[in-house]
Amino acid sequence: MNERYNFAEIEKKWQIYWEDNDSFKTVEDPDKEKYYVLEMFPYPSGKLHMGHVRNYSIGDVIARQKHMAGYNVLHPMGWDAFGLPAENAAIKNGVEPSLWTLSNIEEMKTQLKTMGFSYDWDREIASCKPDYYKWMQWLFIQFFNNGLAYKKENPVNWCSSCKTVLANEQVVDGACERCKTPVGKKKLSQWYFKITDYAEELLESLNTLDGWPNKVKIMQRNWIGKSVGADVNFDIYNTDKNISVFTTRPDTLFGVTSMVFAPEHPLVEELVTGTEYEATVMEYVKKAQILSDVERSTTDREKTGVFTGHYCVNPMTGKNVPIYVSDYVLMDYGTGAVMGVPAHDQRDFEFATKFRLDIIPVVDTDNPEIDVNNLKEAFDAEGTMINSGKFNGMNNKETIEEIIKDIEEKGIGKRSVNYRLRDWLISRQRYWGAPIPMIYCEDCGWVPEEEENLPVMLPKDVEFTGKGESPLVTSKTFVKAKCPKCGKQGNREIDTMDTFLDSSWYFLRFCDPQNSEKAFDKEKTDYWMNVDQYIGGVEHAILHLLYSRFFQAALCDMGLVSTKEPFTNLLTQGMVIKDGKKMSKSIGNVVSPEKIINKYGSDTARLFILFAAPPEKELDWLDAGVEGSYRFLNRVYRLVYELTDKVKAAPDSYKPVTSSDKEILCILHNAIKKVTDDTSGRFQFNTAISAIMELVNGIYKYKEIENANEGIIKDCIENLIVILSPFTPHICEEMWQHIGHDSSVYNMAWPEYDKDALIKDTVEIVVQVNGKVKEKLNMASDLNKDEFEKTAMESESIKALVEGLNIVKIITVPGKLINIVVK
RNA sequence: GCCGGAGUGGCGGAAUUGGCAGACGCACAGGACUUAAAAUCCUGCGAUCCUUACAGAUCGUACCGGUUCGAUCCCGGUCUCCGGCACCA
């Protein structure tokens, strides 16, 4: 160890040491309690950014601390390697996507290794490799065989820039989540995963996820969007047809004064064909289809619509109500038609006002400011039923239940639940993804490829036309295939899978990454699953985290895994920002991890990123703050260097004598306690580090006093290195070796703090008068309540303060404070 | 519009169960060491008032109010910012 802190040399040395000694290799060990730490695996863009550094530094502290605390820790890393950038690079530069991706992986892996993360690299996986996507395809077939994958034609989200369809979850504010291009509609036949079958389960089971941030659970709840109500049948007057509508407000049935169909509703054309209304209605329908989702779904847009010439019968009143078509009604929610209750629904109110339809109130209120017979806007609060026959006078909330019973008895409707969640569209018209292992046969329909023929390899002889059809169609070898059922010539599916499928089960493959017989061995997943601590950005709150939960639940039902939920605890780390803005090339405020590592070393980078903010919050990158972390590591290094001889010569046991001895030991054990608590469960690395800083400051002071005990110095220095090591492992290994150890500090047992050391002989007692701090007195900590009060009351300054006043009450918190209430 | 979350010094943040507001760090200022600088070490650092000084007083956790001996923390209301959803019947 040099006199000066040479981070470059030290970091290199220990990275080689860990690699040569297989320090982070993990195998199943039934005798040891396991702990699975997982950070969301990266897309191999080629460059590590600060968000990665933050994500993986957090995970590494947890993994290292848990290892030292005696757990058998699984801490793997891999690559979410399929996806658009590789293919776009191929179109632009003519590089083969696989080569581009694999070289990026190499580059990023080197960068990750310079950070000193404790990954078991033997478990590395890359989703673009045939040994991974083979099992992706196998899993697809399991979903298909269990009725959870199907193909249907539907208007789908289409990104004209990415030239592919998108799942609902990938459309943000009406635009493509990746490239921000406004999303259009296209009618295509596509593969879907039946995530809606699991809507209720995914919703219910959120309640069991105590280790998840509330925010994420609420976002998922909203996304699933459960509504409880009833389906009600309306007969269409003068026809043999009827229409069912979903409503959450069966109590307002008597107030229905119109029926409104979505423009796409199949009955619309049927009803108007051959009538005088055909021309105007069909023109409206055509116009609506051109509108983009964004245009159509703005709430402040004026309502539009056309009358169809037909009426349907309000089943409660028997009265005819007109049927309209309007684009505020969505085809893919409920039944694609809604009953119009203008008095109690704002949208219906606007529609009725515009088309001069009847507004019949059926819920009244005591509120004197609202006259339900002369409404300025819809009244949607609680109230008393009116104009509703036998239900008049009841509370409307209670009426909901009564009316559902009533319509069920009459056979005109039934209780019903609707979800906003839609099935997951998983086809992509792109090359760089796992081929969907399905073959279309004219006789047998869609048939899965046989297991022994997996993987269905991505062909190399393709043209990247960028035209919006899967490039696989251009392969001369790929498309034609024999039907696995009847042997007749068929065609392979040419679309590839959404890459979110790859990431929906990678945590299972990490348990058994090299298995060539199965996707994963159940015994192994039974040992390692669930992921005890999952860490990643909150931007995946709905997408990846919902899909993975769906996969796990479905695989559990298929008997492939044993638990319904994959991630026991979730930590969503905040963004790294600079100057108040997200780091981005266009703003020019990007700080590259590489530069920081070269200038200060990765230990400094890790320390700063963990110290500057609690993990869930945004982290403001401050160059001066990095300097500070670097300064601290130098300070620790100098301290250890200076005290090494004393530490080596010191006896193993000692007896604290002086108050300084007790004070420094109190600081030491407080630091051990704080770091233990803050790295397991609470995850407040910033305060853990500040406790270590206090310890360092304490040792600096203690070593200067005349009769400093060398045994205590040794105890402090050794524990300091051990508890700092999860944060800054390289420098700690170096110091650990220097003070005379020949094994890695990573293999040291995590220290336990001594409760007794935290108890002080004397404590500072706060004396308040009427709740205001007036005096601080030192007292023996073992005084009882009466003695506390007595000591306080006898103090000169307190006597002076309360003199001549009437003492009403004295409140005492032993060991902390005394509050004297006077008048 | 609906649903969440947050608001504390010049800055990042701390206060874990209702009990000393501002730990730890950054920035800044003064000093020591040095021919000098860097590095390092020491001291100060919420506001206002008062005092020659030592010290002291009052206010202060977005704003208004409440509960309590005592509120950054609990309750009611207001404002601002951030995030999610949004014509979902």
Residue A288 corresponds to which tokens in the numbers above? 């609506």
Q: Which of these, A67, A76, A83, lies nearest to A41 by C-alpha position?
A: A76
pLDDT of residue A816: 79
Give the CA A91 to C1' B29 distance in Å: 59
The per-residue pLDDT for range A103-144, each reduced to its tens digit, is 999 999 999 999 999 999 999 999 999 999 999 999 999 999
Task: Name the amino acid, one letter, at A36.
Answer: Y
Phi first, then psi, for residue A726 (nearest 5°) are -65, -30
A527-553 average pLDDT score = 96
Between CA A272 and CA A224 the distance in angstroms is 35
Nucleotide nearest to A346 (CA to C1'): B87
Which of A510-514's residues contact partners 24+ apart within 8 Å by CB, and which partners?
Answer: A510/A38, A510/A74, A510/A76, A510/A78, A510/A123, A510/A125, A511/A74, A513/A76, A513/A78, A513/A122, A513/A123, A513/A124, A513/A125, A514/A131
H/E element holding A552? helix A543-557
Q: What is the ipTM of this complex?
A: 0.95
Bridge partners, residue A419, by sequence:
A226
Which residue is nearest nucleotide B14, judged by alpha carbon to C1' distance?
Answer: A687
- What's the rounded Cα separation, in Å, for the pair A642 and A3? 9
Q: Within 7 A of a protein CB, which nucleotides of strand B?
A: 3-5, 11-16, 19-21, 23-27, 39-42, 57-59, 69-71, 83-89
Average pLDDT, chain A: 93
Q: Where does the pLDDT of residue A454 fall: very low under 50, low under 70, confident under 90, or very high at 90 and above?
A: very high
- The nucleotide closest to A420 (CA, C1' atoms): B88
Nucleotide nearest to A230 (CA to C1'): B89
Instruction: Calculate the angstrom distance between C1' of B23 and CA of A691.
Output: 9
| DSSP of A38-69 | EEPPPP--SS--HHHHHHHHHHHHHHHHHHHT
Estimate in Å the CA A580 to C1' B31 gap, whole number. Answer: 36
Q: For residue A612, is pLDDT > 90? A: yes
With cut-offs at 50, 70 and 90, classify the pLDDT of residue A92: confident
Q: Are A615 and A213 in contact (CB under 8 A)?
A: no
Q: CA A128 to CA A115: how far, in whole Å? A: 25
CA dihedral A507, A510, A516, A522 (to 10 degrees): -70
Q: Are A805 and A822 in contact (CB under 8 A)?
A: yes
Considering only CA atoms, name the residue closest to the C1' of nucleotide B40: A635
The arithmetic mean of pLDDT across residues A461-485, rounded, is 91
Residue A329's pLDDT is what?
Answer: 94
User: How far is Cα A176 from Cα A571, in angstroms, rounded to an integer?
Assistant: 26
Percentage with pLDDT > 90 across chain A: 79
The answer to whether A87 touches A752, Cβ cutoff 8 Å, is no
* Average pLDDT rounded to a whole number, residues A222-239: 95
Round to whole Å and give the CA distance between A25 and A727: 20
Q: Which residue has the tokens 């046969």?
A: A441
How far the first Cα of chain A sits from its last, in Å, is 67
At A186 the pLDDT is 86
pLDDT at A783: 74
Which residue's CA shows the smallest distance to C1' of B71? A771
The integer distance in angstroms from the CA atom of A722 to the C1' atom of B24 is 20
Which single residue has its CA nearest the C1' atom of nucleotide B2? A222
**CA A49, C1' B23: Å apart?**
31
- DSSP annotation of A529 reads P
Q: Which nucleotide is nearest to A348 (CA to C1')?
A: B89
DSSP A492: E
pLDDT tens digits, A314-364: 999 999 999 999 999 999 899 999 999 999 999 999 999 999 999 999 999
Distance CA A669, CA A755 (A): 8
CB of A377 within 8 A of CB of A200? no
Residue A294 has pLDDT above 80, yes or no: no
Q: How far apart are alpha carbons A230 and A489 in whole angstroms?
A: 48
With cut-offs at 50, 70 and 90, classify the pLDDT of residue A662. Answer: very high
Buried b (16+ CB within 10 A) or exposed e, A496-520: bbbbbbbbbbbbbbbbbbeeeeebb
pLDDT above 80: residue A98: yes
Three-state DSSP class for residue A309: strand
A174 closest-nt by C1' vs CA: B86
A277: enclosing H helix or E strand:
none
- Global pTM value: 0.95
